[in-house]
Amino acid sequence: MRLLLSVLITASFVVGCATTKMGGTQAGRIPIEDFFKNPEVRSFSISPNGEYLAYLKPFKSRMNVFVQKVGEGNSVKRLTNQTDRDIAGFFWKENSTIIFVRDFGGDENFHLFRVGVDGTGERDLTPFKETRARVIDDLDKIDSEHMIISMNKRDKKVFDAYRLNIKTGELKMIAQNPGNYSGWLTDHNGKLRVATVTDGVNTSIFYRDKEGQKFKNLITTNFKTSLSPLFFTFDNKRLYMSSNMKRDKSAIVVFDPKTKKETSVLYKRDDVDVTSLDYSKKRKVLTHASFVTWKRELNFFDNETKAIYEDLRSKLPGFEVVLGSSDTAETTHIVRTYSDKSQGAYYLYNSSTKVLSPLGELSPWLDTKKMAAMKPIQYKSRDGLMINGYLTLPNGMENAKKLPTVVLPHGGPWARDVWGYRPDIQFLANRGYAVLQMNFRGSTGYGRKFWEASFKKWGKEMQNDITDGVNYLVEQGVADKDRVGIYGGSYGGYAVLAGLAFTPDVYACGVDYVGVSNIFTLMETIPPYWEQYREMFYEMVGHPKNDKALLTEVSPVFHADKITAPLMVVQGAKDPRVKKSESDQIVEALKKRGIDVPYIVKDNEGHGFRNEENKMEMYSKMEEFFGKHLL
């Protein structure tokens, strides 16, 4: 993450001559709708017998499930009729049924629905109010009528395990959560044999040899030690896990339940965590581990899989390649491509004949030649940590100096930014802004020490990492120090408010998108199914009583008097994680000082906008806002 370009072009030319008041060159200005309208198609999946394709496509501005026979574009049939909310996802159940998932206005209470490939028999399989369903095991190739799911139907705080009949809707509880189980895992025969248990600070792996037996504790660790079961070995006797036990970076290991120890390390790296492992269901071999440096990378264990990727990469140069679903024979595969300049496309690939057939592009109306490159960068924090990030400069202005800049800290905060296409970044770059992303301390993927460095550091060292990124770009001559804005969602929205309140001289303006303003009220309103993690949140963020002074110091709402830069706030009324009250508080505090705060609230949205008309409105107003204060 090492690249910055620095050939001088004067700022007066960049801003005064080459841009309009709203930013972006007249000739290269792309309509806002082109960035934020729904994809033309996405999420292709092939049926187990290889005869049908299912995918998501817009119907009345909402993403719905469509199906067609392979190679027969005139056989397209729409299976769902959602007009209020996009289908969140779907998968095949045998060859005759699609299972799809949706919530209600952004409340994140996801229900499971079924519908036949002929469009008949649609049914809500989990029709319970304020209940969230999750799939534990779809029992693919094991049981054509059932799935194993978890729901918080009985107790909103915890998830019990059920066997669900997809034809009748019959539910049978197969494991009741005693109150501290946080996850479940089946073996390759669909038997429920592992449970993850937490008291909020300590995490345990519970195990049983057979269904019907009691779960027994295999190992208990503090939550800082990650030991995550991925799946069973093919003989169902041991477990593949991602683990950072006695190491800083998570590695893929084999764990033996009989000895309660790691027996071997399958794959590890010194620079980043490795947390993902894949396998062939048909051949019962491990195929590859995936990890992220500045891009997604793969380490192959299987020559057949490696050969497929090598062939695809030769046929699709310039794009990252991801293998999606396959038929049961594992000869016909869905292939997805993407890059920093393109949402990519879907293909059908036959690994026997090596024939690659296009299925559709996500956004064919966008010209990749007009998109901006996302480049990796690195800079040192003031206390010596290496911070990795990405810099996107406007297309054709890669050598410009003193650009208007938008800083974009990610949400989570225990997540990370990755290289790839993002419509909001391309939109901002097209309007003439440099865009800076950074994986500040606490970002995942860089090991335990880097993650733990964020504990109780909201608004402090975590915020310093963001500020240090701004200072770095100013020192490099890329950013105009007087024209730096900040925009982010969730924790990124908190970082916007913290940046304006705690470093008022750094930013000319900010856009807070479903961000936290008051950590006390955030803790009071966490969703019930997060309750078991409360003690962990207290240790990572701060305790409302024991750390009252700290949380008061770093909650922006108590420092609204220090905010002098213009602020725009965006909120979904049904957000279950960052309640509307978080945005109401900061808006009210600023209005009491006579400051007008543009405030967008949508009653049919939750933690982030999904409906395209709401996204259009949000980014249109953001364009006006940044244009007014940064150009």
> Per residue in 343-393, pLDDT tens?
999 999 999 999 999 999 999 999 999 999 999 999 999 999 999 999 999
> Per residue in 412-425, pLDDT tens?
999 999 999 999 99
Say if residue 440's pLDDT is above 60: yes
**Torsions phi, psi for 448 (to 5 deg):** -65, -45
From residue 382, alpha-carbon distances to 213, 408, 536, 553 in Å are 54, 19, 28, 21
Say if residue 5's pLDDT is above 70: no
DSSP letter assigned to residue 507: -
> Per residue in 54-101, pLDDT tens?
999 999 999 999 999 998 878 899 999 999 999 999 999 999 999 999
Say if residue 13's pLDDT is above 50: no
The share of the chain scoring above pLDDT 90, in percent, equals: 93
Q: For residues 349 and 163, what is the distance between their CA atoms, to the nearest angstrom?
A: 34
The per-residue pLDDT for 628 is 97
Say if residue 2's pLDDT is above 50: no
Among 21-25, 93-97, 560-564, the range scoring the smallest mean pLDDT is 21-25
Q: For residues 136 and 156, what is the distance between their CA atoms, to the nearest angstrom?
A: 18
Bridge partners (DSSP) listed for residue 518:
none
> Per residue in 502-534, pLDDT tens?
999 999 999 999 999 999 999 999 999 999 999
Interacting residues of 464 by C-beta distance below 8 A, sequence separation 6+? 381, 382, 383
The per-residue pLDDT for 27 is 54
The per-residue pLDDT for 200 is 87
> Per residue in 132-157, pLDDT tens?
999 999 999 899 999 999 999 999 99
End-to-end CA distance of the chain: 29
pTM metric for this prediction: 0.92
Interacting residues of 541 by C-beta distance below 8 A, sequence separation 6+? 455, 456, 458, 519, 523, 551
Q: For residues 627 and 551, what is the distance between their CA atoms, to the nearest angstrom?
A: 34
DSSP letter assigned to residue 15: I
Q: Which residues are catalytic?
A: 490, 575, 607
Strands 355-361 and 374-380: unpaired
The per-residue pLDDT for 73 is 79
Amino acid, single-letter form, for residue 59: F
The per-residue pLDDT for 14 is 27
Rounded mean pLDDT of the chain?
A: 93
Amino acid, single-letter form, for residue 134: R
Average pLDDT score over residue span 560-578: 96
The CB density around residue 65, as the number of other CB atoms within 10 Å, is 27
Q: For residues 500 and 537, what is the distance between their CA atoms, to the nearest angstrom?
A: 25
The CB density around residue 323, as the number of other CB atoms within 10 Å, is 19
Say if residue 229's pLDDT is above 90: yes
Say if residue 18's pLDDT is above 90: no
Q: For residues 388 and 369, what is the distance between their CA atoms, to the nearest angstrom?
A: 26
Q: For residues 505 and 284, what is the distance between their CA atoms, to the nearest angstrom?
A: 58
Interacting residues of 596 by C-beta distance below 8 A, sequence separation 6+? none
The share of the chain scoring above pLDDT 70, in percent, equals: 96
From residue 492, alpha-carbon distances to 69, 499, 550, 569 in Å are 43, 10, 19, 12
The per-residue pLDDT for 131 is 96
Please name which of 513, 512, 432 lies closest in space to residue 479, comparing C-alpha atoms: 432
Q: What is the DSSP string of 238-290?
A: SEEEEE-TTSSS-EEEEEETTTTEEEEEEE--SSS---EEEEETTTTEEEEEE
> Per residue in 251-261, pLDDT tens?
999 999 999 99
Asked if residues 198 and 209 have their Cβ atoms less than 8 Å apart, the reply is no
